[in-house]
Amino acid sequence: MKFLIVGSGGTGGSIGAFLAESGQDVTFIARGKHLEEINKNGLKLKSDIKGQKNLKNIKAYTAEQYDDKADVIFVCVKSYSLDEIIPLIKKAAKQDTLIIPILNGAGAGDKLAAKLKEGIVLDGCIYIVAYLSVPGEVTQMGDIFRIVYGERQKDDANKESLKALKEVLIKAGIKVTISDNIKRDTFRKFSFISSYAACGAYYNINSGQMRENDEYKNTFIKLTEEFIKVSNAMGIVFDIDLLQTNIKILEAMEKEATASMQKDLEKGNKTEMDELIFQIVRLGDKYGVEVPTYKKIAKSFEI
């Protein structure tokens, strides 16, 4: 399979590095100093699963430079950049190309499909702690690395192509779930990253502090509970005890880990705060669900 990784930060960089290390044909879309370092010295991977790898001869281009077709496109950009990469996907996709958005939030597949005639747009999410440590280097922490993907509508894709992709990813060292209800499963992941990012940014804390301090942990719990109520009002019913699951995920996180939104906030970069915090407030208002903890945090970040 020929893979295109659109967005080569922590998430995309880790997916692409694991695939490239296993011998797959991988091309990264990157920019700036990160792109320069990859082209000059290869992509460095610091992984608790794979160890330290220096992947030479990695193909990396800007969106404008890329001129090929891919069998699988992983879209790993920030939610606010989704519209910007539409021309690239149109250029890179064939009719049977699998397009899998791996973004913080939910509904990215529907947003892409509305603007694309090319390819087969799935939806997906990822469980991973990873970040761009320095240009040209991606760090993946812990033993959690799982991709969930599935059809947005029944019979969107050939089932065999989904299974073939799963086999390739597993051989690369990535755990995979093919979802039979991807909307539910993306909201399941969304519930954790939204609560985790909102709590971490509000108090400016890491995972260890969030689980060890009663005030911080209770805020995380309240955010998750409010998210679940909003989801239920939208008709999304989870097949697990989502609160306990999210607490277990928090307990398993590396102590020093923080959400990418929090890292961007600390650096003064553009963030996904609108998607991860303000969107839940808007959904609460729309569906008549009280979300006082989200509103308190949203208000603290209003300009």
Which residue ranges make up each domain of the chain? 2-180, 184-301
Position 253 scores a pLDDT of: 87
- Do 2-180 and 184-301 share a fold? no
Q: Output the CA–CA distances (angstroms, integers) from residue 130 to 42, 48, 55, 117, 205, in the order listed.
A: 18, 10, 17, 32, 17
Position 153 scores a pLDDT of: 79
Task: Tell me how crowded residue 260 is: count the other CB atoms within 10 A of its CB.
Answer: 22
What is the rounded average pLDDT of the residues 19-35?
A: 96
**CATH architecture, domain 2-180:** 3-Layer(aba) Sandwich (3.40)
pLDDT band at 144 (very low <50, low <70, confident <90, very high): confident
Closest CA to 4 of 23, 30, 22: 30
- CA triplet 195, 142, 31: central angle to 5 degrees? 80
**Contact of 36 with 135, CB cutoff 8 Å:** yes
Q: Provide the whole-model pTM.
A: 0.89
Position 155 scores a pLDDT of: 66
What is the rounded average pLDDT of the residues 70-84?
A: 93
Question: Coil, strand or helix: which one is 281?
Answer: helix
Residue 86, pLDDT above cutoff 70: yes
Pick the CATH number of 184-301 from 1.10.3980.10, 3.50.50.60, 1.10.1040.10, 3.30.70.120: 1.10.1040.10
**Contact of 139 with 166, CB cutoff 8 Å:** no
Write the pLDDT tens digit of every residue in 231-281. 999 999 998 999 999 999 999 888 998 998 999 999 999 999 999 999 999
